[in-house]
Structure 1
Amino acid sequence: MKLFNIEVDATKNWLPKEGTVHYYGTLLNQREANQYLESLLDTIEWRNDEAIIFGKKIITKRKVAWYGEKPFEYTYSKTTKLALPWTEELLELKTKVEQKTGETFNSCLLNLYHNGSEGMAWHSDAEKDLKKNGAIASLSFGAERKFAFKHKITKEKVELMLEHGSLLVMKGTTQTNWLHRLPQTKLIHTPRVNLTFRTIEEINR
């Protein structure tokens, strides 16, 4: 069942306090979203993600890719990635997202979840490489998945369903005060590709 059967109010803040999250619903129609999903699966240089946890290197089933307007370095989970140059499709999508949100972005971290057994644990995107309190635009393709927020102090939770071709934006103090995750589920057997457009702050480099 679709969570959103009526027109989405993109001005609504989904967080009750200390952060801002806007959900725009589907940015692309079904045909466009299908085409982009197929293209992203085929053309992006996907690699298994790596993380250092308790001193041990972990290789994830989930795959990632890091692109940008310059060969930006981006460090998280104690590993560093070097941005690849934009593809034509990524530039097209970046333009659509910027026009819709009024924000600007210079990089994009992509995640490929092959099915519902792959997800993302609670975390916040507050790495020192990123612009502090900058907007992060999350564009989703493929399987519709639940996305959750949890306040770092009060533990309040907010959950949304992210549709195929949909756009969500986190900004302001969201990363400072809230965690987010993509829960695992046994009900999903098809892939999801997620693009998170970001801003690397060069002044701190």
Structure 2
Amino acid sequence: MTRQLHSDNQQYPLQHFSLPDAHLTLWSNWLASDEALRLMQQLQQQLMWTQDSIVMFGKAVKIPRYQVWMGDAHCSYRYSGTTFSPQAWHPAVQAMAQQLSRFLNQPFNCVLLNLYADGQQYMGWHADNEPELGHDPAIASVSLGASRRFELKHRSAAWQLALDLTPGSLLLMSNGCQQHWLHRLPKQSKVDAARLNLTFRYIAAKA
């Protein structure tokens, strides 16, 4: 199947957000709408989704979403007391990683997929700043399914930003975003459909 991905980042509208200590770029229609829907359905059905536990205040608690950690064999990472080893690449996700690498001129060799059943499932304030990702990682986030509000706040200054991430959108977080900002996906009680988010990263192989 020919994937309907854009190959030229000048072909369609984008938004730049020059923030204190960070830069965001949002492409609202990076993925064609029919392909976004097909991919959403395919990944929901074919991936081995788990509701993992993380350690909070010394106790193991289930995260309020389903997830898959996927990538090259060396791309293990540790988050909140738990070490995650990658599942093997799904062909469609690997094709997207390769397309993103060309499109953004950034290497990507792993991805965290988060599946939110509805607006009651969420992700709290955090930064993608695990040591495995390096000093200033570029994170590419692709959204499928229901539109959800995505919020960011500066760690030490009174700056906040909220974006609506629609199906097929691509958000690139770079230039200090993971060092100086936190982000979250809050609950939205009126959202009754599933949302799938893929956040692509790069982990260097150990020498």
Same fold per TM (> 0.5)? yes
After superposition, the C-alpha distances for 1:142-176 in whole angstroms (9 at most, x for unaligned) are 00001011000013101111010110011121111
| 1:47 match: secondary structure | coil
After superposition, the C-alpha distances for 1:30-88 in whole angstroms (9 at most, x for unaligned) are 11111100011011111002110010000124111111122421111111110111111
The one-letter code sitting in structure 2 at the alignment partner of 1:49 is D
1:48 aligned to which of 48, 51, 57: 51
Q: Tell me if 1:66 matches 2:66.
A: no
Kindly report structure 1 stretches of 4+ aligned residues shifted beyond 3 Å.
none
2:196 aligned to which of 172, 193, 198: 193
Structure 1 stretch displaced more, 109-118 or 97-106 = 97-106
Q: Tell me if 1:17 matches 2:20.
A: yes
Residue-pair matches, total:
196
Structure 1 unaligned segments of length 5 or more: list them. 1-6
| 1:159 match: secondary structure | strand
Match of 1:143 in 2: 146
After superposition, the C-alpha distances for 1:13-35 in whole angstroms (9 at most, x for unaligned) are x2421011111111111111111
Structure 2 unaligned segments of length 5 or more: list them. 1-11
Match of 2:120 in 1: 117
Match of 2:13 in 1: 8
Q: Tell me if 1:108 matches 2:75.
A: no
Match of 1:129 in 2: 132
Q: TM-score, normalised by structure 2?
A: 0.90
Hey, what's the Cα distance between the residues in 2 that align with 1:156 and 1:66?
Answer: 31
**What is the CA-CA distance between 1:99 and the residue it aligns to?**
2.6
Match of 1:32 in 2: 35
1:81 aligned to which of 80, 84, 90: 84
Q: Tell me if 1:99 matches 2:105.
A: no
RMSD over aligned Cα atoms: 1.4
| 1:57 match: secondary structure | strand
